Each structure stands twice: as C-alpha cells, then as structure tokens.
C-alpha cells in the first residue's frame, strides 16, 4: 500500500504542479505492524475505530467498511496537505501536526443543527449539515453524495482544523466578518482539492 500511495501522489504532483516537489513528511511507516492489523471487519459490530497509516496518531471511526477504506482516507489527507503547503505553506508544521492526530468519524446520515454559518458568513437556523469540526483534532463528516470522499465535506473540515492549528480557532463563519482567518483562497483550495480527489476516483 505504501508504494501505491507514493506512486499515486507522485503522479498527481507531476500532473498538477510542475516543478513542485511533494512534501514527503508523512511517507513513513514506523508502525507497520499496527497499521496492518488495524482494519475494518465487516463481521464485527459497528462503529469501529481504524488506525490510519503514515500519520502518527490519526484514526477514523466507521459504521460501514466501505466508508471508507483507510488507504482512500489517507490519500485524501495527503492530497489536502500537499495543496495546503503549496498555497499557504506550513513552515512550523502546525498543520501537519494537526493532521497527524486527526480523528475522523464518518457518518452515514446528515445532521441538523440549531444554528450554523454558510460560506458567506450568514447565520442559518435549523441547518442540515454534512460536516462538523468538533475540536482541534476531531471532525465528523457525512459520507458524501454517491459515497465519494470528493463529494463529502472532508476537505472543508480539514480547512477548519488547519486554521484552528494556526490561529487558535477554526473561523466558524467562514468568509464572514465575525472571525478572521477563512478567506476566498481557502474556499478555492477546497474546490481544487476536490477536483484532485475526483481525478483519483475518490
């Protein structure tokens, strides 16, 4: 699986960002035995926690083994970080460190919240949500339309995690004026990352 991930990301980098060398800081497998034995078992009860390889303390909680195989989730995280580092940089590795300990809970159904904020910063009452950043390292993500990571809010929630690691808050009102942090560039980053995920069939 390690070789597969390296090859896929190398191809992605060559196609999408000529002249840019991908950050390989995640490409280590010091706990290979643990990763190998931490798999989703369809014969066991759900939800199940699965350790994500190549990230020191990252995990995902799944209620269905098809949502999602750990190598798909890991590839999604790596693609996100490659884009983030290229656009915004990460000189102190704060974003990398946040991803190293991420816990992703994949939900099979959407949720409702009494209040939420749209990308434009407008408050929405009784909003149907497809993702939620619950803490500095814990996020909940609806499985996405057509069971595709690229059609989920994973990338959106990772932006909140990254901003929280850098600024101490995830900027809950996005491009609104209540908090600072989230800009149009972050919204455009999400679009670009989702396109890259789609290119890999995720």
Angle at 180 between CA 196 and CA 123, to 5 degrees: 85
In this predicted structure, the answer to whether residue 151 has a pLDDT above a threshold of 60 is yes
Domains: count for the chain: 1
Return the structure tokens found at 6.
Answer: 């390296």
Instruction: Give the side-chain half-sphere CA count within 13 A for 200.
Output: 31
Residue 35 to residue 187: CA distance in whole angstroms:
33
In this predicted structure, the answer to whether residue 10 has a pLDDT above a threshold of 70 is no
Q: What is the number of other CB atoms lying within 10 angstroms of the CB of residue 201?
A: 9
Q: Which domain holds residue 159?
A: 2-199
Return the structure tokens found at 107.
Answer: 């939900």
Q: How far apart, in Å, do the first and last CA atoms of the chain sit? A: 16
Q: What is the reported pTM?
A: 0.86
Q: What is the number of other CB atoms lying within 10 angstroms of the CB of residue 32?
A: 12
Beta strands in the chain (DSSP E): 48-51, 59-62, 103-107, 111-117, 123-129, 131-133, 138-142
In this predicted structure, the answer to whether residue 25 has a pLDDT above a threshold of 70 is no
Grade residue 67 by pLDDT with cuts at 50, 70 and 90.
Answer: very high
- The tens digit of pLDDT for each residue in 74-99 reads 999 999 999 999 999 999 999 999 99
């Amino acid at each position: 699986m390690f070789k597969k991930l390296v090859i896929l990301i190398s191809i992605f980098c060559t196609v999408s960002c000529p002249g840019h060398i991908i950050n390989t800081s995640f490409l280590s497998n010091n706990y290979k035995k643990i990763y190998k034995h931490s798999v989703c078992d369809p014969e066991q009860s759900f939800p199940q926690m699965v350790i994500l390889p190549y990230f020191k303390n990252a995990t995902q909680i799944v209620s269905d083994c098809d949502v999602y195989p750990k190598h798909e989730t890991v590839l999604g995280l790596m693609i996100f970080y490659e884009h983030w580092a290229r656009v915004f940089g990460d000189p102190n590795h704060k974003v990398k460190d946040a991803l190293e300990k991420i816990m992703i809970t994949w939900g099979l159904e959407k949720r409702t919240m009494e209040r939420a904020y749209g990308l434009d910063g407008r408050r929405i009452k009784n909003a149907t949500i497809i993702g939620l950043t619950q803490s500095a390292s814990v996020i909940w993500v609806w499985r996405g339309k057509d069971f595709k990571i690229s059609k989920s809010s994973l990338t959106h929630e990772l932006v909140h995690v990254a901003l929280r690691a850098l600024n101490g808050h995830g900027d809950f009102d996005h491009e609104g004026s209540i908090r600072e942090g989230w800009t149009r560039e972050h919204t455009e980053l999400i679009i670009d990352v989702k396109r890259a995920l789609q290119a890999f069939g995720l």
